[in-house]
């Protein structure tokens, strides 16, 4: 009788799971419970197995899950994934897309605002200088030894540029740094500013390979310290500097730079501050100068989560804007838009390699941070790769010009952007009047 009862319960559970996932159309998967019982969603080979370690975790899936509840269950190892973690995000998206009741929406609204209220009491209003400093420190002030195993030797924490899908991560990152410098047409002795310079990779590349006098600023004291150490080790202290500074505190540098780049930084600015951001950057440029803004944007039609796991656990206060928001704010500040390039597929490839690097170097990473932190970053990199693959978010390089009495100092063609190895002064002559 006991066996019959168990079989009946398993049959009922299987029937409930079949009903729960009746509208799912993503990669095939399996579910395995804490007692070893397994259910297969389809008869074909599963892309991944969702491992449920407790009844509470199963209730999370069957109830009204969102990014935070699912993410926290994964971080606590109540839920795990065997196989292709990236494929599992199709299942998560399906579960989160089911209709929610009014009571559930009200509860989520209260939770979101409770989190924001807590951050207000500790650090001030959203995107104030004090709160931005705390948000950046939360993410970027981890030891560089945590990042190095999966970012690679370049220490570049932004979208790489792949000439071929098989390029190594280090090679693709060097290609991205060179592409930025070529789009800016960076030349010897030009003054170059990198806003949000990270560990100094772009300023080092600009000074070493393009002969620029490069300066970087970052809100992370940890990054500034590492960047300056790398500059000293490279023997570039005469042409390359990095300091701990907020871009909003650069009044003494007005019209000081020929070229400026901001790579993976403006996601922290916030929609209300975009006009001020672009106006500030324009004021730092000399007339005729060029600015490349490289950052993540959201698709206007993509669903916006009520609660964001990444905002709560990875990038506090990080909110994505649309490409239209970027262009409108840039033009409103007086910039002329010269080029827009979407590198969405490149960022999916980059994030896949970061996630693979985290898994491959798990032992080394766990010597630096607890396993919960490791699992947060693994979930964040894999989930972001899935979001880029789906088209919900993209990475846009927007090239902007501060006109010099109507002249933009750009050549008629852009062939040199994609010439492998083009550095220093290997550029076409600018079009326009000389002044």
Please tell me whether residues 158 and 89 are part of one structural domain: no
Residue 314 lies in a domain: yes
Q: Does 397 map to a domain?
A: yes
What's the total number of domains in the chain?
Answer: 2
User: Would residue 71 count as lying in a domain?
Assistant: yes
Q: Percent of the chain scored above 70 by pLDDT?
A: 83
* Residue 362, SS3 per DSSP: helix
In the numeric block, which tokens belong to residue 39? Answer: 């259910």
Q: List 290's β-bridge partners, or say none.
A: 259, 401
pLDDT given at position 136: 36
Tens digit of each residue's pLDDT (9 = 90 or more) over 47-87 = 999 998 988 887 777 777 888 888 888 988 999 999 999 99
Residues 180, 282, single domain; the answer is yes
Mean pLDDT of the chain: 84
Q: Are residues 83 and 140 both part of a single domain?
A: no
Is residue 423 in some structural domain?
no
In a shared domain, residues 385 and 305: yes
Write the DSSP assignment of 133-160 as a string of letters: HHHHHHHHTS-HHHHHHHH-TT---S--
Distance between CA atoms of residues 281 and 248, nearest Å: 9
Query: Residue with structure tokens 């209260």?
Result: 110
Regarding whether 176 and 45 lie in a shared domain, the answer is: no
Same domain, 176 and 275: yes
Q: Average of pLDDT values for 174-199?
A: 96
Last residue of a domain, one of 43, 69, 96: 96
Query: Which of 2-16, 268-282, 317-331 bottoms out in mean pLDDT, i.e. has the lowest?
Result: 2-16
Same domain, 271 and 325: yes
Residues 53 and 155 in one domain: no
In a 3-state reduction of DSSP, which class is residue 29? Answer: strand
Report pLDDT for 123. 42
Query: Within this chain, do residues 205 and 283 fall inside the same structural domain, yes or no?
Result: yes
Model confidence, pTM: 0.82
Domain that holds residue 352: 134-418
The CATH number assigned to the domain holding 217 equals 3.40.50.150
The reply to whether 153 falls in a domain is: yes
Distance CA 116, CA 317 (A): 9
Residue 390 lies in a domain: yes
Q: Does the residue 412 lie in any domain? A: yes
Provide, rounded to the nearest whole percent, the portion of the chain with pLDDT above 90: 58
Q: Tell whether 162 and 86 lie within a shared domain.
A: no
Same domain flag for 338 and 408: yes
Other C-beta atoms closer than 10 Å to the C-beta of 284 total 21
- Owner of token pair 């907020």: 246
Q: In this structure, are residues 52 and 79 in contact, taking their beta carbons and an 8 Å threshold?
A: yes
Would residue 117 count as lying in a domain?
no
Q: For residue 82, what is the domain's CATH number?
A: 3.30.1050.10
Q: Does residue 91 sit in the same domain as residue 138?
A: no
């Amino acid at each position: 009788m006991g066996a019959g009862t168990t079989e009946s319960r398993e049959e009922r559970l299987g029937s409930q799971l079949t009903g729960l996932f009746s509208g799912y159309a993503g990669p095939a998967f399996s579910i395995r419970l804490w007692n070893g019982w397994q259910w297969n969603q389809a008869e074909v080979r599963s892309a991944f197995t969702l491992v449920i370690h407790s009844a509470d975790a199963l209730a999370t899936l069957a109830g009204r899950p969102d990014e935070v509840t699912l993410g926290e269950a994964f971080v606590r190892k109540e839920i795990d994934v065997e196989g292709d973690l990236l494929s599992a995000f199709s299942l998560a998206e399906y579960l989160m897309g089911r209709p929610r009741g009014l009571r559930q929406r009200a509860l989520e609204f209260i939770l979101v605002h409770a989190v924001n209220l807590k951050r207000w009491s500790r650090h001030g209003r959203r995107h104030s200088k004090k709160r931005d400093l705390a948000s950046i420190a939360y993410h970027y002030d981890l030891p560089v030894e945590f990042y190095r195993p999966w970012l690679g030797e370049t220490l570049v924490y932004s979208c790489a540029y792949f000439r071929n899908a098989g390029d190594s991560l280090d090679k693709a990152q060097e290609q991205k740094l060179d592409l930025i410098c070529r789009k800016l047409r960076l030349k010897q002795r030009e003054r170059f500013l990198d806003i949000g310079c990270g560990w100094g990779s772009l300023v080092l590349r600009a000074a070493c390979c393009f002969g620029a006098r490069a300066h970087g600023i970052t809100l992370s004291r940890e990054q500034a310290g590492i960047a300056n150490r790398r500059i000293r080790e490279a023997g570039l202290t005469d042409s390359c500097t990095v300091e701990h500074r907020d871009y909003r505190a650069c009044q003494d540098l007005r019209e000081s730079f020929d070229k400026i780049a901001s790579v993976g930084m403006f996601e922290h600015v916030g929609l209300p501050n975009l006009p001020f951001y672009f106006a500030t950057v324009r004021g730092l440029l000399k007339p005729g100068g060029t600015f490349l803004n490289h950052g993540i944007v959201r698709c206007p039609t993509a669903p916006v989560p009520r609660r964001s796991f990444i905002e709560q656990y990875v990038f506090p206060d990080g909110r994505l804007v649309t490409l239209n928001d970027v262009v409108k704010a840039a033009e409103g500040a007086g910039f002329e838009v010269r080029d827009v390039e979407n590198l969405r597929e490149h960022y999916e490839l980059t994030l896949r390699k970061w996630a693979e690097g985290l898994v491959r170097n798990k032992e080394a990473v766990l010597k630096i941070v607890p396993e919960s932190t490791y699992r947060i970053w693994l979930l964040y990199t894999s989930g972001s790769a899935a979001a880029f693959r789906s088209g919900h978010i993209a990475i846009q390089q927007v090239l902007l010009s501060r006109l010099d009495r109507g002249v933009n100092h750009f050549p008629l063609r852009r062939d040199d952007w994609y010439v492998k190895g083009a550095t220093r002064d290997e550029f076409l002559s600018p079009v326009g009047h000389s002044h």
